[in-house]
Amino acid sequence: MGPASILLLLLVGSALAPALGRGRWAGWALAALPAAGLGWLIGQTPAILDQGALAGSFPWPLPLDPDLTWRIDGLGLLFGGLILGVGALVILYAGAYLADEPRRGTLWSLLLLFLAAMLLVVWGDHGLVLFAGWELTSLTSFLLVGFRREEAEARASALQALLVTGLGGLAILAGFALLAQTLGTWQISAWLGAREALAGHPAAPWIMVLILLGALTKSAQFPFHFWLPNAMAAPTPVSALLHSATMVKAGVFLTARLAPLFGQMPLWSAILAGAGLTTFLLGAVRGLGEHDLKRVLAYSTVSTLGLLFLLLGLGHELALQSMIVLLIGHALYKAALFLAAGSVDHGTGTRHLEHLGGLWRAMPLTALGAFLAALSLAGFPPFFGFIGKEFVYKSKLLLDPLTIPLVTAAMAGNMLLLALALRVGWSPFAGAPRSERARQAHEGVPELWGPPLLLAGLGLLAGLSPQLWARLLVEPALTALAGEAIPLELALWHGFNLPLLLSFLTFLGGLAVYRLGTSRGWDLPGVAWRRGHSQTVYDDLLAALKSGSLQVTRRLQDRPLRTHLRALLAVLLILLTWAAVTTAPAASPGTAGPNGVPPALFPAGLALLMAFAGGRASSARTLAPVVGWLGLVGAGVALWFLYYGAPDLALTQLVVEILTLALLALAWKGLSGAPAPERTLLRDRLLAGGLGLAVAVGVYGALSTEGHGDPVSATLSAWSQPLAHGRNVVNVILVDFRALDTLGEIAVLLVVGLGALLLAADRATPRNDGAATPSWLLRTTARWLPAVLLALAAAAWWRGHHQPGGGFVAGLVAASAFTLLALAEGAAEARRRLRLDPLRLAAAGLLLALGSGLVGPLTGQPFLTGHWVFWGPLALGTPLLFDLGVAAVVAGFVLQVVFSLLEEEQGS
Amino acid sequence: MNAVLALLVGALVAASVLAFLRGRTTGLLVGFILLGQAVNLLVFGAGGLVAGRPPLVPPGQATPPPGSADPLPQALVLTAIVIGFGLTAFLVLLLRRLRTDQPRAGLDDLGPPSP
């Protein structure tokens, strides 16, 4: 087992979760996955403590320099433990919280995906691994905040969270790319030792600011703090996991991770301390004005995150120690409070603080959990939060010139946080019920009160055994953060000293704020803003972006379409003329150049015919002759291919021509009846003629140029039979040598099929009566010809590796079989005979092609490597399966188009 | 033959431009098909024109006979034909939809986004 297996476990769980029904034990089963990961991590702890870090790399089919490495050091241990531990509890809790929700499985699936993404962030040692995980957390957060997709507010909040954190993600990518460019490596652990190399570099401040932008947006720091309270639209378990315990701490993680690299830069400290202090105070003040339990918690989270950044910005040893201690304490009590808030919501149906109260009678266990967590948040002894706060005061007392303002600010903020703690952990439960709902409250199942109680209990346990936690979690994390071992003494009792006095004053102040707030209904002067300034700026920016894009589009595209077309073509003409004038002719006309081909009568006549037919097609007035002339051009092209040694192309072109003809015939009614063409202008004729001439000159020049070096085709031809076991080199190139390209191309076909579905989606539903009665001849032919065509298609696929044919041709021929059937008997009958939705057929084909390619990586070879088994004269290989997939995609896509055209025709 | 091919490609390009600029929406379809044929012929010819010798390995041998046609442009063009057909089909559907929604629209009526 290792990180890769844990990720795989979580992803498999994520894939299976939607299918897990409504059973009560599904939550336990899924929670076991992160719990297993946590178990592994705990088992590895001695090794991590011993060696400093575990490292390795994720398997990846393509060679990369360096590999996609992972590394678990003290910081990775701390965060990994948090993610997996809180993750397991939240998944368990979510099962009970959303017991009646039909999309519960989807929520689980997203939560597990999120956990995997978070692990990539904290364990990835390659900049791109970290970035990929980072973006994936933003995406899952978007989907989870917008989980109640029927609510407009949830959707808007989800979009806001995505835009703000997504913007930060892009900044991080830019910062990482610059850093990798500067230091010559993507490996994060290698970056950390390169402080001197980076110090004097002009790009260093840019890199730092870009990365901090990402960290501050993710962790909701001023001026980007506004998205986090809005993200409370998510179901409560999501808020507990993403928006309090883990994801919003990713910014803290990244900053801490890179502190050894940037920690000495004054700007680093200034930004972190400035943003952190502002957010710390702002969040606490704003929290006072809220009445929604979750929003109060969100602001208190914002505030605490600010304090963490402030400590990172101060950057000295004691500050970093306080940061880690505070971070652990916060993860425990804040997740507990969120979960308790969810239980309150679940038990009463409201989260409005003025409507709660007196719940301790009905929900004693939830009340106990919330109360314990709130005591830790408030910093009461003997909770871990108390140790954290003592440390914070101690660390600020060290900074001589700044001591008084910083300590004052910290005390003010802590008083407010204490008042917030009492609001969320005391007021809903104490006193008498303030509404009918609160009177009718009921305790939930154990999955609802257990997790918060467990987390809050851990906070108490940690406070009682601080040295154990210092050894196991705090010291290793500090070592990773500071780059050297820092011994640490954690204790509840340090004697009567200044921090203790400050703590005592904070209690008194916090209680005073709470009393004052309660007596005034929390309508305190200056705190009850409903809409923050940052939120307004966000709204204005978004509106400006939309109207600005519209303005630009209108300014650039305000003319008729043909004017834009003419402009494009004229530019093309100028470029081609320029190229023709500046490029010296390679061979004098008249002589057969190095690539010269002897002239021949048949193709020359063919060319003349095609040119003539093309001209007529472009100038015909009605649609019927156009179809005829186009068919003639196509037939000419097919014959041209046949003459010049390309039977595969000739076959494909011929079948495509027939299908195009069928398509145009089907769409006839919808296309004809268009307004008669205007008279062609002289300048359009000149433009067309000029372009034709320029292209001809360019093509002639290109064809007469001598090739450079050995053509790759010679190698491909030489490899075809010995390596790829195929005698048709063209087919071997398609399904083996360049199979990746082919895969992309059939994916495009599937997308076109989806487009066809969408274009027809909101039209009349097909009637089943097969409106047109086709001729007797067609109906009779349609009885036996499809079978023959299908046999031909199978033959084309089977022999395609050695003889002209192949998957593309096979798919087209198979499609024409069913097209014929559809024309004769109606689309409904053809669909019935096909037995499979065409798009499903295409999708299955794409999956088959992909699957055949995966045999390579499974046997340790690159993606799409061919594997063959020989059975007497019979050679069977994965490229044949790939070709079958190609055939299925082509057939499915063609039939999707044909059926939707036909159904429209018959339905209208 | 290079000159013939060059003139043929040029003529098809000219025809497709004319079709584009006729002002009818179906002109887009005609122009698109003709342009596709022109480009396919061009790419095919870029490998050199070899009459009557397809790149097939005869039974019992390891490589195609010397002087066979170049297989690489053929593979490129083969997928290009199918993709081109896919886009043609999509265009047909799009034009049909346009004809239903705006029965009298010509190319120039497809204006900028309305405010």
Residue A593 — very low, low, confident or very high, per pLDDT cuts 50/70/90? very low
Q: Is the pLDDT of residue B71 over 50?
A: yes
C-alpha dist (Å) from residue A267 to A314, A357, B68 = 12, 47, 68
Q: Is the pTM of this model over 0.80?
A: no
ipTM over 0.85: yes
Residue A809 — very low, low, confident or very high, per pLDDT cuts 50/70/90? very high
Q: What pLDDT is recorded for position A589?
A: 47
Q: Express each pLDDT in A441-467 by its tens digit.
A: 777 788 888 888 888 888 888 888 888
Q: Which residue of A has its CA nearest to B3?
A: A700
Q: Is the pLDDT of residue A528 over 60?
A: no
Q: Is the pLDDT of residue A882 over 90?
A: yes
Measured between beta carbons, the chain A residues lying within 8 angstroms of B1 are: 597-600, 603-604
CB contact under 8 A, B70 and A711: yes
Query: Which of the two residues, A149 and A359, has the higher pLDDT score?
Result: A149
CB contact under 8 A, A759 and B93: yes
Structure tokens at A240: 């507990």
CB contact under 8 A, A727 and B54: no
Q: Which residue of A has its CA nearest to B65?
A: A717
Q: Express each pLDDT in A628-673 by its tens digit.
A: 999 999 999 999 999 999 999 999 999 999 999 888 888 877 776 6
Q: What pLDDT is recorded for position A34?
A: 92
CB contact under 8 A, B112 and A721: no
| Average pLDDT score, chain A | 84
Backbone angles phi, psi at B36, to 5 degrees: -60, -45
How do strand A874-877 and strand A53-57 relate by DSSP bridges?
unpaired
Measured between beta carbons, the chain A residues lying within 8 angstroms of B107 are: 560-562
Q: Is the pLDDT of residue A531 over 60?
A: no
Q: Which of B35, B43, B56, B110 to mutate to test the interface with A (most CBs of A within 10 A)?
A: B56
Contacts of A260 (CB under 8 A, 6+ apart): A192, A193, A195, A481, A482, A483
Q: Is the pLDDT of residue B90 over 60?
A: yes
Measured between beta carbons, the chain A residues lying within 8 angstroms of B16 are: 614, 618
Residue B115 — very low, low, confident or very high, per pLDDT cuts 50/70/90? very low
Q: Express each pLDDT in A347-386 by its tens digit.
A: 888 888 877 877 777 888 888 888 888 888 877 777 777 7
C-alpha dist (Å) from residue A8 to A14, A36, A94, A115 = 10, 12, 22, 11
Burial of A707 from C-beta contacts in 10 A (0-12 / 13-18 / 19+):
exposed
Element (H, E) at A868: strand A868-871
CB contact under 8 A, B110 and A561: yes
CB contact under 8 A, B9 and A677: no
Highest mean pLDDT among A388-392, A405-409, B87-91: B87-91
CB contact under 8 A, A718 and B62: yes
- For A664-706, the three-class secondary structure string (H helix, E strand, C coil) is HHHCHHHHCCCCCCCCCCHHHHHHHHHHHHHHHHHHHHHHCCC
How do strand A874-877 and strand A868-871 relate by DSSP bridges?
antiparallel
**Which one-letter amino acid corresponds to residue A9?**
L
DSSP assignment, residue A597?
-
Q: Express each pLDDT in A562-584 by its tens digit.
A: 888 899 999 999 999 998 888 76
Q: What pLDDT is recorded for position A592?
A: 42
Measured between beta carbons, the chain B residues lying within 8 angstroms of A557 are: 112-113
Average pLDDT over residues A863-891: 89
B6 touches chain A (CB under 8 A): yes
> What is the DSSP code string of A606-627?
HHHHHHHHHHHHHH-SSHHHHH
Q: What pLDDT is recorded for position A901?
A: 85
Structure tokens at A798: 């089977």
Report A:336-355 residues touching B (Cβ under 8 A).
none
Residue A679 — very low, low, confident or very high, per pLDDT cuts 50/70/90? low
- Rounded to an integer, what is the distance from CA B13 to the centroid of its chain? 10
A688 touches chain B (CB under 8 A): yes
Half-sphere exposure of A325 (CA within 13 A, CB side): 34
Q: Is the pLDDT of residue A768 over 50?
A: no
Number of helices (H) and strands (E) in chain B: give both, helices first.
3, 0
CB contact under 8 A, B83 and A749: yes
Report B:38-67 residues touching A (Cβ under 8 A).
38, 40-42, 44-59, 61-64
Structure tokens at A624: 């019927």
C-alpha dist (Å) from residue A842 to A347, A740, A793, A810, A902 = 49, 17, 16, 14, 19
Burial of A329 from C-beta contacts in 10 A (0-12 / 13-18 / 19+):
buried
Measured between beta carbons, the chain B residues lying within 8 angstroms of A623 are: 26
Q: What pLDDT is recorded for position A660?
A: 92
A750 touches chain B (CB under 8 A): no
Closest CA to A75 of A305, A240, A333, A259: A259
Q: What pLDDT is recorded for position A538?
A: 85
Rounded CA gap, A553 and A236, in Å? 42
Residue A398 — very low, low, confident or very high, per pLDDT cuts 50/70/90? low
Percent helix, strand, coil in chain B, to 5, is 65, 0, 35
CB contact under 8 A, A687 and B106: no
Partner residue opposite B21 with nearest CB, options A630, A684, A711: A684
A749 touches chain B (CB under 8 A): yes
Q: What pLDDT is recorded for position A393?
A: 77
CB A123 within 8 A of CB A76: yes
Rounded CA gap, A356 and A348, in Å? 8
CB contact under 8 A, A618 and B16: yes
Q: Is the pLDDT of residue A26 over 80?
A: yes
Q: Which residue of B has its CA nearest to A738?
A: B75
CB contact under 8 A, B37 and A704: no
Q: Which residue of B has its CA nearest to A648?
A: B78
Rounded CA gap, A882 and A852, in Å? 6
Q: Express each pLDDT in A72-95 by its tens digit.
A: 988 899 999 999 999 999 999 988
CB contact under 8 A, A691 and B83: no
- For A357-404, the three-class secondary structure string (H helix, E strand, C coil) is CCCCCCCHHHHHHHHHHHHHHHCCCCCHHHHHHHHHHHHHHCCCCCHH
Partner residue opposite A648 with nearest CB, options B15, B45, B78: B78
Measured between beta carbons, the chain A residues lying within 8 angstroms of B30 are: 617-618, 626, 630
Q: What pLDDT is recorded for position A136?
A: 94
Q: What pLDDT is recorded for position A85?
A: 92
CB contact under 8 A, A607 and B70: no
B87 touches chain A (CB under 8 A): yes
Q: Express each pLDDT in A718-763 by its tens digit.
A: 888 888 888 999 999 999 999 999 999 999 999 988 988 888 766 5
CB contact under 8 A, A630 and B3: no
Lowest mean pLDDT among A127-136, A153-162, A485-494: A485-494
Partner residue opposite A717 with nearest CB, options B63, B107, B112: B63
